[in-house]
Amino acid sequence: MKRTLVFGDIHGGLKALIQLLEKVEVKENDRLIFLGDYVDGWGESAQVVGFLIELSQKQDCIFIRGNHDVWCHEWLMNDVVNDIWFLHGGKSTIESYQNIVSKEKHLEFFANMKDYFVDENNNLFIHAGFSSMHGPEKEHYASNYSWDRTLWEMALTMDTRIGKDSVSYPKRLLLYNEIYIGHTPTLHYNIDVPMQGCNVWNIDTGAGFYGKLSCIDVATKAFWQSDVVQTFYPNEKGRNK
């Protein structure tokens, strides 16, 4: 049976990703959807990208673009360091690229990422969110795909007494069967597993900080997690201050 498996923000934690894939026991016909932020955090950002490029050659993979990926792509293209990016994980990413001789395949990888993906069951996969009541294809500001937090905040605080047939029910949530996001670590809510708000699932369990890397099966909602990512990199701080 073909599974659709969704992975949260990796943030340079290659060792955690490898462990997680082993736990999931990926089959040949599984579809893997990665929600973005492959870089910035632990010391193997460039290596994560290289690993995912190789993985996509033998597995059905969909790569969503995260805000950290936008920053990294801009640096790879222009060799200009964004000061905010540098302080939020960019430094470790730059260091991870020191021994990468050819960056052409990496540039292609970043350029070919999707802003969002809608599957055959009308499930949306996006890094952060969107603000348009007509869906991401009508989004006025493309940066919302990788930056918006209002979708998640709305879903998380929704009054469950409001029915879907009510005029008060958020139109954005009615557009899709389910929505899968990353971007906002569940650790912010003192939760270290994937979270659900209405029909929105947040798979970012804080791998870039002191959390774990997570993967969820869309059909069954079974999920798997790596060990705490920091344990793989005991001499690094990741994105922790």
Q: For residues 96 and 76, what is the distance between their CA atoms, to the nearest angstrom? A: 12
Q: For residues 205 and 9, what is the distance between their CA atoms, to the nearest angstrom? A: 8
Q: What is the pTM of this model?
A: 0.96
Annotate 66-135 with DSSP letters as a single string: -HHHHHHHHHHHH----HHHIIIIIHHHHHHTTT----HHHHHHHHT-BSEEE-TTSEEEESS----TT-
- Assess contact for 29 and 64: CB atoms under 8 A: no
Answer whether residue 111 shows pLDDT above 90: yes
Query: Could you report the per-residue pLDDT of 86-99, keeping only the tens digit for each?
Result: 999 999 999 999 98
Answer whether residue 161 shows pLDDT above 90: no
The predicted structure's pLDDT at residue 207: 98
More confident residue, 201 or 241: 201
The predicted structure's pLDDT at residue 119: 97
pLDDT tier, 160 (very low <50, low <70, confident <90, very high otherwise): confident
The predicted structure's pLDDT at residue 1: 78
171: enclosing H helix or E strand: helix 171-174
Count Cβ atoms below 10 Å from residue 223 Cβ, excluding itself. Answer: 18
